[in-house]
Structure 1
Amino acid sequence: MSNFGLDAALLFIKSKFLMAVRQTVSVSNQSRTSLAVAGLSLGTALNPLNSSMIAVALVVLRADFSLDVATVTWVITSFYLSSAAGQPLMGRLADRFGARRMFMLGMGLVAVTCAFAPFSPNFAVLCVVRAVMALGTAAAYPSAVVMVGGIAREAGMETARPLGRIQMANTSAAAVGPVVGGLLVGAVGWQALFLINVPLALAALLIVRQVAPRDGARERGTVAELVRASDIPGILGFVTSLLLMMMALLNVLPDYRWWLLGAGTVIAALFVWRELRFTQPFLDLRLLGRNRPLMIVYLCFAVFSSAYYFVFFGLPQLLQEAAGYNPGVVGLLMLPLAAMSVVATPWAVRAMSRFGVRRVLIYGVVLLAAAGALMWTLTSSLAIPLVLALTAIMGVPYGAVSVASNQGMFVSTTPQERGVAAGIFQTCRYVGAITATVLIGVFGADGVDQASWGLMVTAMVVLSVLVFPVTLLWRERTV
């Protein structure tokens, strides 16, 4: 063979070898990216999963701890209060000290607290454990949003794709929570709702530790400086104002109801005053003041969550108390909601690519109002086919509005703001959920029956109608 022929053959072999190497590296990078997104999805899903699994355990907890409807709701509100305070704080810490570190720290906290939760000696301790667990889950979502940017850049894809997968996991977890919770409570008891989190949190921690992009340079500083920068008074003011208002609405102390409401209002006003003047506020209200699209997204999502969580926490109690279905059956009756949410989420992602975030958000709110109105039929019948049809219908607006709101938040902020913005976004969810649970305690003070369900449906429809004109104001912001 001539030298020319030999060189050509070697060049051909070299080119094929390099092509094979590039393909292998590409497949490896794709697998790594998929695994990283899966780990983040699993970790972020623990918060909505635990917020919804507990819905089918409320009646069992009432019986085990001899509680009334208003009191048992504290197992929900303690979780949401901690999450609402923890999300913005964890978002800021993720921005400052590294999203990967905060994610793993949060998952470790979830695993430890959930291992000890089943041994809680009384209901008060159980609520405290739920609050600490919520703080761990609160680290996951804002950390994941920060990490998504780096993962998308490495994979050469748009951020909407990994964000859509994470949102799909969150939507599915929240929707499937009552199903999983019903099976666990029916087979083992409420204790299983905590134990299931231990392997899930550890799996998320290990996956992210192994494949997620490493954090950049870590911010230095003393613990005292960190505490000062964390705005502890702001956090305490936020939680205290919500707590006092909830106690007033639930009439925990009848003789002091108006005093509690007044004190909560005053503390809320002081909280706003401080946050607008503090250098590094816990809840960056100035971010909202200079970013109208973001403020509209937050308002829409908070009101949407208020309407939606009437179904999430009210319907399982209605089915158990009024229809006499056991927790396992109730979980299965909520299954269509999970299935339709899973179907609606990727549809919403594709629809946003074609029609834009705004249209999907508007149509989702319209569907929510329609689905809420149909829920009125449960005041006259709790037949299984009717319940299955209505929960399936409710899954569509849940998937659409959740993913559209999430993408609206993302495109309305700069990369430097997204950790904090994602934390506040989740706080809006929790404020909405707290509002729904408090009103369920008010409407169903003597038990959730078809009469009190009618009041809840009315509230759902009113909230959906109120949020509709707000969605019309949203426009995508160029950042």
Structure 2
Amino acid sequence: MSNTSRPGLAIAALSIGTALNPLNSSMIAVALVVLREDFSLDVATVTWVITAFYLASAAGQPLMGRLADRFGPRRLFTFGMALVAVTCAVAPFLDNFALVCVARALMAVGTATAYPSAVVMVTELSRLAKVPSTRPLGRIQMANTSAAAVGPVVGGLLVSLFDWQALFVINVPLALLALLIVQRTAPADVGRETGSLGTLIRDSDIPGILAFVVSLMLAMMALLNVLPGYRWYLLGAALVVGALFAWRELRFKPPFLDLRLLGRNRPLLLVYLVFVVFSGVYYFAFFGLPQLLQEAGNYDAGLVGLLMLPLASMSVLVTPLTVRLIERFGVRSVLITGVLVLAGASAALGLLTLSLWPPLVLVLTAVMGVPYGAVSTASNQGLYVSARPEERGVAAGIFQTCRYLGAITATVLIGVFYGPGVNQANWGLMVLVMLGLSALVIVLSVLWRKPAEA
């Protein structure tokens, strides 16, 4: 039986579960060389261990959110953590790289249940804890940010002490711990759908779900260029399947994704646009700067890791302050302030066209971490107040997909700008793009208004 008098523990467990997705998306980077050697792979093939996780996460987040809305967040969280634990217990014994990629995809699906489930549970947990919703949402955001920051460090330590298999094994106790605590401390699912399996399947809009997943995966594969020479074919197919998805959703009741409602919910759409564009700016720095420091500055990987650490560390430190400011001044004021700081931080990164002096890099990465913590937290709260309570799961899932879209778009553009060479001049061009995107995100933030009923 659930002990609903301990919401603090439940939020902590949800934060652990939420951290598993960014943790596993980042710490695998340090294992690519070892995987290449163990399975005798080329560089292009080994990257599928990352691509499989990204594709499954991006497509799975909205689906998992919809399931949390329909059948209950605690039930879905339990399923997700169990899937992670079982998959990660089996994966170390796999001797086929394709199966390892499948295991990574299943991990992504399992970890994708955590964030939407947490957002759905926030209302009841914050009521039980007698705190504003900003507090648990802030803790969940900190888990996301800190896990992504420590991922490469944790991954490097595990691979050096053990082997790539340890990257799977570490998830087993974490997933089981989160599962057991949520089962004991989170409120029971109430008011969710029940009935015969046949009825539930018939009302689940399976063709709509499949069309959504396929169109998104085709678009992501085009952006990632996973099949060189077929990018435009994949993009065209994504548009066709996406159009069929929209046609289906406008006619089916109840739809997997209510496009009419989404079209009428301007605040929610603006939150998504803000987060996509903002994520693009952030990942320009997160992915582009290390390459500049290593190739143009000739710094070794260890030093680059230390120089980049303030970016994520500062964002974690800023999050609690951001929560307090939102409670005092509101989401919109903090969001606008955060994106203005983002523009200033992006402009300051232009100084690296003049010098790659390590203390300067250290200061600039710390400054860039401030808007990341502020805008991520404000966007998270903006999502919460913009979405209807009964649709917060799927809304949260789409929100996480926006992060992936921004990150992958930034990665593609970095490849374009660094194509002629990784140097300070091309970094300067990227900073100009970051400034343009920052201006766009300022406009979108100014347009956002908290819904009157929220």
TM-score by length of 2: 0.87
Q: Is the 8 A contact 2:66 2:393 kept in 1?
A: yes
Are 1:405 and 2:379 matched, yes or no?
yes
Query: Out of 320, 343, 347, which is 1:373 matched to?
Result: 347
CA apart distance, 1:326 = 5.4
Tell me the equivalent position of 1:155.
129
Tell me the equivalent position of 1:462.
436
Instruction: Give structure 2 stretches of 5+ with no counterpart.
Output: none
Are 1:395 and 2:366 matched, yes or no?
no
Q: Assess, with a 3 A threshold, how the Cα gap between structure 1 residues 326 and 279 changes in structure 2: closer, same or farther.
A: farther
Other structure's SS at 1:277 match: coil
Tell me the equivalent position of 1:18.
none
Other structure's SS at 1:399 match: helix
Query: Out of 153, 159, 166, which is 1:179 matched to?
Result: 153
1:13-412 to structure 2, matched below 5 A, reads: 32-57=6-31, 66-68=41-43, 74-121=48-95, 123-216=97-190, 219-249=193-223, 255-320=229-294, 328-379=302-353, 381-412=355-386
Q: Is the 8 A contact 1:235 1:282 kept in 2?
A: yes
Q: Assess, with a 3 A threshold, how the Cα gap between structure 1 residues 366 and 66 changes in structure 2: closer, same or farther.
A: farther
Are 1:414 and 2:382 matched, yes or no?
no
Paired residue type of 1:168: M
* Greater Rg over alpha carbons, structure: 1
Kindly, what percent of the aligned residue pairs are identical? 71
CA apart distance, 1:376 = 3.7
CA apart distance, 1:322 = 5.3
Q: Assess, with a 3 A threshold, how the Cα gap between structure 1 residues 179 and 446 changes in structure 2: closer, same or farther.
A: farther
Other structure's SS at 2:363 match: helix
Are 1:428 and 2:402 matched, yes or no?
yes
CA apart distance, 1:59 = 6.5
- The Cα offsets for residues 9-64 of structure 1, whole Å up to 9 and x where unpaired, read as xxxxxxxxxxxxxxxxxxx987x222111111111121222223335555666777
Other structure's SS at 1:220 match: coil
Q: Assess, with a 3 A threshold, how the Cα gap between structure 1 residues 131 and 451 changes in structure 2: closer, same or farther.
A: farther
Other structure's SS at 1:353 match: helix
- Distance in structure 1 (CA, Å) of the matches to 2:198 and 2:287: 40
Q: Assess, with a 3 A threshold, how the Cα gap between structure 1 residues 99 and 243 changes in structure 2: closer, same or farther.
A: closer
- Distance in structure 2 (CA, Å) of the matches to 1:389 and 1:321: 20
- Distance in structure 1 (CA, Å) of the matches to 2:28 and 2:428: 23
- The Cα offsets for residues 81-105 of structure 1, whole Å up to 9 and x where unpaired, read as 2122222222222222221111111
- Distance in structure 1 (CA, Å) of the matches to 2:186 and 2:226: 46
Q: Is the 8 A contact 2:276 2:402 kept in 1?
A: yes
Greater CA drift, 100-109 or 244-253: 244-253
Q: Is the 8 A contact 1:35 1:211 kept in 2?
A: yes
Greater CA drift, 199-208 or 223-232: 223-232
Tell me the equivalent position of 1:15.
none
- Distance in structure 2 (CA, Å) of the matches to 1:377 and 1:66: 39
- The Cα offsets for residues 169-226 of structure 1, whole Å up to 9 and x where unpaired, read as 2222233333333444454454433332222111111111111112226532344444
Paired residue type of 1:292: R
CA apart distance, 1:106 = 0.6
Q: Is the 8 A contact 2:55 2:220 kept in 1?
A: no
Q: Assess, with a 3 A threshold, how the Cα gap between structure 1 residues 450 and 299 changes in structure 2: closer, same or farther.
A: same
Paired residue type of 1:171: T
CA apart distance, 1:317 = 4.6
Q: Assess, with a 3 A threshold, how the Cα gap between structure 1 residues 190 and 219 changes in structure 2: closer, same or farther.
A: same
- Distance in structure 2 (CA, Å) of the matches to 1:307 and 1:66: 33
- Distance in structure 2 (CA, Å) of the matches to 1:366 and 1:288: 27
Paired residue type of 2:14: L
CA apart distance, 1:281 = 3.1
Q: Is the 8 A contact 1:246 1:438 kept in 2?
A: no
- The Cα offsets for residues 380-399 of structure 1, whole Å up to 9 and x where unpaired, read as 65443233222211211111
Instruction: Give structure 1 stretches of 5+ with no counterpart.
Output: 1-27
- Distance in structure 2 (CA, Å) of the matches to 1:242 and 1:201: 27
Greater CA drift, 204-213 or 226-235: 226-235
- The Cα offsets for residues 283-319 of structure 1, whole Å up to 9 and x where unpaired, read as 3323321211111111111111122123333444555
Q: Assess, with a 3 A threshold, how the Cα gap between structure 1 residues 442 and 272 changes in structure 2: closer, same or farther.
A: farther
- Distance in structure 2 (CA, Å) of the matches to 1:323 and 1:125: 38
- Distance in structure 2 (CA, Å) of the matches to 1:252 and 1:100: 35
- Distance in structure 2 (CA, Å) of the matches to 1:310 and 1:451: 15
Q: Assess, with a 3 A threshold, how the Cα gap between structure 1 residues 112 and 410 changes in structure 2: closer, same or farther.
A: same
- Distance in structure 2 (CA, Å) of the matches to 1:76 and 1:446: 25
Give the length in aligned residue pairs: 450
Q: Is the 8 A contact 1:182 1:329 kept in 2?
A: no
TM-score by length of 1: 0.83
CA apart distance, 1:419 = 1.9
- Distance in structure 2 (CA, Å) of the matches to 1:375 and 1:474: 27
Paired residue type of 2:146: S
Tell me the equivalent position of 1:12.
none
